[in-house]
Amino acid sequence: MEIKIREGQIEDLAQALELVKELAEYEKALDQVDNSIEQMAADGFGEHPVFGFFVAEKGATIVGIALYYYRYSTWKGKRIYLEDIVVTQSERGSGIGKQLFDATIQKGKDTNCTGMMWQVLDWNEPAINFYKKYGTRFDNGWLNCHLDF
């Protein structure tokens, strides 16, 4: 069956959140997912949307997502940030991740971004090897910082 990549819609949020939870489970952090469909709807489709996403559709089922937003670098200017790329376990290795990644890159180019940024867990070798195929630069010497409100 053909895979269709398209912009995500509010109606896709339930399936998208299930994929986010699947990713969290893979990363052994399911207990850290506090987000909800209602919060995602407000944040992505409210008066001032803060994220966008692509879906990979196989028939009527969403089998992958790439969620992104824009950030600003004082050194580089406008950047697109790939928050998560998720392909359901049964479809991994079929090229869907590449299609979603490429769609996000194209979105960045179409919106005049100077590049794309994202994070990858240091133990996720399949993802690291995938990103290496693109000539990705991996930064050393930076620590991730978080404040929860």
What's the chain's length in residues?
A: 149
Catalytic annotation present for 131: yes
Rounded Cα–Cα distance for residues 108 and 35 (Å): 25
> By the 8 A CB rule, do 20 and 39 touch?
no
Beta bridge partners of 86: 65
Q: Which of 69, 70, 131, 134 is catalytic?
A: 131
121 neighbors 54 (Cβ within 8 angstroms): no
Angle in degrees, 0-180, between the axes of helices 96-110 and 125-132, rounded to the nearest 10? 50
Please give the positions annotated as active site: 131
